[in-house]
Amino acid sequence: MKRLKLILTLLLLAGTTSIYGQMARLYTSGSGLPNSRINDIYQDSRGFIWVSTENGLSRFDGMDFTTFHFDRNNSNSIASDLVTTVFEDSFGTIWVGTSAGLQIFDEEYFTFTSVDLMDPDMPASDQHISSVLEADIFGERRIIAATSGHGIYIIDPAG
């Protein structure tokens, strides 16, 4: 019985000591994020952490944040500072959902290209994208973008 109590005590202590061994660091707007209100996080195949916030999109390399903001004077900037989601498809394309629609990030030039989601039943001002994923639909690769209250778009990434 003493041996059983000793084993149980050691197991309990081992469980609690591993919790204290974890190290955490909090990143906020004071440490490089454009906003502390986070909508989504995603790690791409190159190891970058993408952070979607209420005030822009940040890419974290483990040391520094590179932040992308909407710039009304630059047609290649992100479409809105309200970024909701980021997703990388199987070809390495980064898809970004914002309150102003869906965009593709060009990693070489650090620019964004809007995806045409024109629908006569939905005004351009209502293209708030809530999530993005890749799916195989009847053997065809498709990107699915969910909107906030207007359904889903199924997009052929090849055009």
Average pLDDT over residues 74-86: 97
Residue 15's pLDDT band (cuts 50, 70, 90): low
Sign of CA dihedral 92, 97, 102, 108: negative
25-155 sits in which CATH class? mainly beta
The CA-CA-CA angle for residues 112, 115, 117, to 5°, reads 150
Average pLDDT over residues 18-42: 87
Q: Is the pTM of this model over 0.95?
A: no
Which of residues 125 and 148 earns the better pLDDT score?
A: 148
Residue 12's pLDDT band (cuts 50, 70, 90): low
String of DSSP letters for the chain:
-HHHHHHHHHHHHHHHHHHHT-------GGGT-S-S-EEEEEE-TTSPEEEEETTEEEEE-SS-EEEE---TT-TTS-S-S-EEEEEE-TTSPEEEEETTEEEEEETTTTEEEE----BTTB-GGG--EEEEEEEEETTEEEEEEEESSS-EEEE-TT-
Residue 136 has pLDDT above 90, yes or no: yes
For residues 1-20, one letter each, b for 16 or more C-beta atoms within 10 angstroms of the residue's C-beta and e for the rest, the string is eeeeeeeeeeeeeeeeeeee
Residue 118's pLDDT band (cuts 50, 70, 90): confident
User: Could you give the CA distance from residue 145 to residue 151 in angstroms, rounded to a whole number?
Assistant: 9
Q: Where are the domains of the chain?
A: 25-155
User: Could you give the CA distance from residue 49 to residue 118 in angstroms, rounded to a whole number?
Assistant: 30
Average pLDDT over residues 39-58: 98
**pLDDT, position 139:** 92
Q: In whole angstroms, how far apart are CA 4 and each of 8, 11, 13, 18, 47?
A: 6, 11, 14, 22, 45
- Mean pLDDT, the chain, rounded, equals 88
Average pLDDT over residues 143-158: 90
Residue 25 has pLDDT above 70, yes or no: yes
**pLDDT, position 159:** 79
Residue 49 has pLDDT above 70, yes or no: yes
